[in-house]
Structure 1
Amino acid sequence: MDNSATNSEPLVVDLSIPFPTSREAEIAYGTLSVDAEPKRSSVKKTVVHKDNMLHIHFESNDARFLRVSVNTFFDHLGLVVQTMERFGPPRLK
């Protein structure tokens, strides 16, 4: 029996993450958008920065890969937020 959760319809997760300022969202975007999903994961991830928001779109036909990708993203997001909190508000460019 195959236990994989593969669907013919793509599974989608859309997130909108607010930041206190546009600059902080821009820093998070610059950090989180550089890592492409591994080719073997079959997950498509799109990160968009607009004003003080990050919009993230995940899409996959495999629920397990989608779950791992979203969990990993939240781990990285947590690290970015902790780093910004530790070093204070970002300076203007």
Structure 2
Amino acid sequence: MAATQSQWEFICDMEIDFGSEKNASIVYAALAVDKELQPDKVKRIMTVSDGKLSVHFEAIEARFLRASFSAFVDVLTLATKTIEEFGQGMKL
């Protein structure tokens, strides 16, 4: 059964400033390929603007939001460390 609009009551927003549109776009591209495993339970919307990556999560239960957010942050951390290590000397 598909979730209705009123079921998406668990929400989390985050914004990460990468200092440049290029770095934010690199991280966006790395993370965009990983789709949500349960799109009927969790939605994730990402945008890049002014060197910042904005991410919006919605879920039908808190546990789905926590699991999705936690997995996302793990990959986000890896992508950020990769830019720090191999980027143009930029420290985030």
TM-score by length of 2: 0.82
Larger Rg: 1
- Check conservation: 1:10, 1:60, Cα contact below 8 A: yes
Aligned residue in 2 for 1:23: 22
Aligned residue in 1 for 2:36: 37
Q: Post-superposition, which runs of at least 4 consecutive aligned residues in structure 1 deviate over 2 A?
A: none
- Residues 53-90 of structure 1: CA deviation (Å, up to 9, x unaligned): 11100001111010010011110010001111111229
Aligned residue in 1 for 2:79: 80
Give the 5 Å matches for 1:40-51: 42-51=41-50
CA distance in 1: counterparts of 2:17 and 2:30, whole angstroms: 15
Unaligned runs of 5+ in 2: 1-5
CA distance in 2: counterparts of 1:60 and 1:88, whole angstroms: 34
Would you tell me which structure has more strand in proportion to its own residues?
Answer: 1
CA distance in 2: counterparts of 1:47 and 1:53, whole angstroms: 10
Quote the offset at 1:33 in angstroms. 1.4
TM-score by length of 1: 0.81
Unaligned runs of 5+ in 1: 1-6
Q: Percent identity?
A: 37
